[in-house]
Structure 1
Amino acid sequence: MPFHPPSWVPQLPFDPPDSCTVADFMFDENYGRYPLGYSKPPFTCGISGKEYSTLEVKERVDFLSRGLAKELGWSPNVGTEWDKVIGVFSVNTLDTLPLAWATHRLGGIQTPANAAYSAAELEFQLKNSSAKCLFTCLPLLKTALQAASGAGISKDRIYILEVPKEATGGQGTPAGFKTVDDFIKEGAGLPRLEALNWEDGDGARKAAFLCYSSGTSGLPKGVMISHRNVIANTLQMATYDKPDRDKLREPGSQVDYIETTLGLLPFSHIYGLVVICHAGIYVGDGICVLPKFEMKQFLDAVERFKVSMLYLVPPIIIAMTKNKAVLDKYDLSHVRAIFTGAAPLGKETAEDLQRIFPKWAIRQAYGLTETCTVVCSTSPHDVWYGSSGSLLPGIECKIVTTEGVEVEGYDQPGELCVKSPSVVLGYLNNDKANKETFVDGFMHTGDEAVIRKSPKGHEHVFIVDRIKELIKVKGHQVAPAELEAHLLTHPAVNDCAVIPVPDDKAGEIPKAFVVKSPNVSLEESDRMLARQIVKHVEKHKARYKWITGGVEFIDVIPKSPSGKILRRFLRDKEVAARKKKGARL
């Protein structure tokens, strides 16, 4: 049976427009965005404090588009979007999104690359996307030059996004490289560009972003995200949050509530790109921009700029719960809520954080690059730990078993399939993946989920785990994420991951990789500690969920920048170790 948003969720105020660019939607008050002149500055540097007002950003986008047009020989109505692909390989900066919106003004595409990429990984994306130029930052310039050379992009087509000098050791832009500011200064003296000549439906057909999936199997896939996809999810989130934001208004005031949010997560990732940088700015919020996660720098910025909404991922939340003494040194009283996604947040970790900050609303969301981000989200008035919240307006989903049967009730697991105006155009040049993923109007997520009714009577989505990563123990399905969340409650466990290992009797059994807490005594043997951890699971979980595959201590759990545990690296490590021992694979 199909599932829909709960009755309390407002309907979209209007259909997401399909004949305008993302840039127009973000800067035209006729599309319902918060008044430009009263919005907070969209981006504030969390290190230097530098910022531009919304009206200044709009002007910078205009001038930047003119400068790019002259430099690259592009015209808004000449060629297709695939002739105008701009690569971006950078940490977060004040101009990352203005660059994207300027590209859209020219009818082009931005393809953002993960700042943690190696030269080979970046080269693959530049080639696969057919990027015509590359914007990078000084800390990543060496890698960018190597990758661009391999992809056939000349040095004079590499440009610089400026970051605070504190992040570059005081180094300035090397001679011979143009910066975004250079383009803006040049563009200010150039004539205004002609308007894009778009017909109805062009916004739904043309790609605005080409983001690359995390590549859980094989090479990363280019995900084609249309202008309407971004607009739809922005509108869905703004509509979903409106009832709760209305409650935050000053008594008797007709002025909408706006706040400063945290822009720490990578803007190259769909979570940072859409949830933080589009949905937040559309409703008038400002973003405190940080280039990377460092606990002290993060807490300094939250305190200094009075950040009230923290967009986080589970690894940062886990680090916070394990460092209460550090948190106590900062005034975080203005924080009202956190919003977490990109990877599951365990119920136990949420409870740990709530004990430290009882007044914070802990919101969890679920989404994918292929759904242009959020499918469901916790509302502050119906927080249910472990849940990913309720469906956003305009979204329909169904749960389908591995046998292909559609689930007809609650608490029945199966693959989550999603229908939404935010579901993307598909994968670039990958017919096989498109046929498997986008079927009859639904996006097949590859995630196992169940729908449950909360104590308040609303339907919530619970994500169990990736279907391909579930451990099959004597026919029982065991979710690694569930065991990982429980293991983190043990005081000796700083971080962990669980994978399947083969077993003659059970087929598969769970094995845990554990990073020890700094508090663990050097005198305590690994064997004794492993036994304590195993007993911790045995005390609270069903027998088939016990860690019978053993505990291995390692220095770090491999993760993507968005916080997903890269279990495939641990599986490869385990296979290599078993081969060496001659054990069953």
Structure 2
Amino acid sequence: MAKFTFEDYLKYIQQFRITTMQLVPPVLVMMAKRHETAKYDISSIKHILCGAAPLSSDLQNEVMSRFNMVICQAWGMTETTCAGIMTPDMTIDLTGSVGYLLPNTEALLVDEDGKQVTKDGEPGELWLRGPQIMLGYWRNEQATRESISNGWFKTGDMAVVRGGKWWIVDRKKELIKVNGLQVAPAELEAVLLQHRDVTDAAAVGITIHGEELPRAYVVLHQNAKDKTTDRDIQDFVAGKVAKHKQLSGGVKFVDEVPKFASGKIVRKVLKEWAKSDAKVVEATVKARL
């Protein structure tokens, strides 16, 4: 495909009877939420390997159950030259884990103070060491020094480990800081997608009068646009998350969530939207005063 369009994507799966695929989570969102999926026969798919962004267990299990396929998660980066963590092929895991470290790979988690996290279930930045880690960035010694310390590559991803199994929380730089507490956009997006009227969603921090708050950009089903309100979405999320994770930065309905050709969310555009919206909100509050 020269350019990704969802309907062409489905058409080619049906035409060529694709059996195994590698996908990013936003494509699974489209498969689960968009009406076009029902128009095509995608029953040939038996196995999907999903990576590049966090995938919630709810969405993973929904797609597996609906389409009778196995979805395995994995984690890797360009700098790791291949996967660093992976679920064994065709293993059914319903927890949302990205699996286990690859052989000859070491990992540790580091907290905000630079100390190693030693307790299972506590988040930290994932550092990796192994033969597949890059030697450095081409002609950029400063970036190399900042990213690699004593052979440990600082991935920039927040993760947790329980009993040797790993879960990715979100990118460290994308976390929303609310009164000193961290909120992962991926967690909010997973909750938003549970709403029956939501076909797609993205979360980002919005700074209003110096305070960062969680905000969501939401795409509604066509038949829900006249009945579902931003307050409905906020109340739905509030019933499922801690207080500091609630959408106190508001909800805005959009026609589509900005994405790269790969299907990954363009976070930079979301931040631009939030910055622009913050000016409007602040001006409105100032006018009221």
Paired residue type of 2:222: P
Q: Distance in 2 between matches of 1:321 and 1:492?
A: 13
**1:252-331 to 2 correspondence within 5 Å?**
290-323=1-34, 326-331=36-41
- In the other structure, the counterpart of 1:517 is 221
Structure of higher CA gyration radius: 1
- Which ranges in structure 1 are unaligned for 5 or more consecutive residues? 1-289, 454-458
Q: 1:531 to 1:421 in 2, by over 3 A?
A: same
Identity rate, percent: 39
Contact 2:207/2:278 (CA < 8 Å) preserved in 1? no
Paired residue type of 1:313: V
From 475, 485, 496, the counterpart of 2:180: 475
What are the Cα deviations for residues 155-198 of structure 1, in whole angstroms up to 9, with x where unaligned? xxxxxxxxxxxxxxxxxxxxxxxxxxxxxxxxxxxxxxxxxxxx
**1:391-406 to 2 correspondence within 5 Å?**
391-406=101-116
Q: SS where residue 426 of structure 1 aligns?
A: coil
Q: Distance in 2 between matches of 1:581 and 1:474?
A: 20
Q: SS where residue 540 of structure 1 aligns?
A: coil
Alignment of 1:341 onto 2:51: yes
Paired residue type of 1:431: E
Paired residue type of 2:69: W
From 87, 95, 110, the counterpart of 1:378: 87
Contact 2:121/2:162 (CA < 8 Å) preserved in 1? yes
Q: Distance in 1 between matches of 2:10 and 2:274?
A: 37
From 350, 368, 377, the counterpart of 2:77: 368
- In the other structure, the counterpart of 1:446 is 156
- In the other structure, the counterpart of 1:542 is 242
Q: Distance in 2 between matches of 1:536 and 1:488?
A: 11
Q: Distance in 2 between matches of 1:562 and 1:373?
A: 17
Q: SS where residue 427 of structure 1 aligns?
A: coil
Q: Distance in 1 between matches of 2:8 and 2:127?
A: 39
Q: Distance in 2 between matches of 1:567 and 1:330?
A: 31
Paired residue type of 1:485: A
What are the Cα deviations for residues 276-305 of structure 1, in whole angstroms up to 9, with x where unaligned? xxxxxxxxxxxxxx4333334323332333
Q: 1:488 to 1:542 in 2, by over 3 A?
A: same
Runs of 4+ in 1 over 6 A off after TM superposition: none
Q: 1:448 to 1:552 in 2, by over 3 A?
A: same
User: Under a length normalisation based on structure 2, what TM-score does the superposition of the two structures give?
Assistant: 0.89
From 185, 196, 199, the counterpart of 1:494: 199
Paired residue type of 2:162: R
Paired residue type of 2:177: K
Structure with greater proportional strand content: 2
Q: 1:567 to 1:329 in 2, by over 3 A?
A: closer
Aligned positions, number: 283
Aligned-pair CA distance for 1:581: 5.8
Q: Distance in 2 between matches of 1:563 and 1:363?
A: 18
User: Under a length normalisation based on structure 1, what TM-score does the superposition of the two structures give?
Assistant: 0.46
Q: SS where residue 222 of structure 2 aligns?
A: coil
Contact 2:20/2:47 (CA < 8 Å) preserved in 1? yes
- Which ranges in structure 2 are unaligned for 5 or more consecutive residues? none
**1:113-262 to 2 correspondence within 5 Å?**
none
565-574 or 394-403, which deviates more: 565-574
Q: Distance in 2 between matches of 1:392 and 1:460?
A: 11
Aligned-pair CA distance for 1:551: 0.4
Contact 1:342/1:562 (CA < 8 Å) preserved in 2? no
- In the other structure, the counterpart of 1:575 is 275
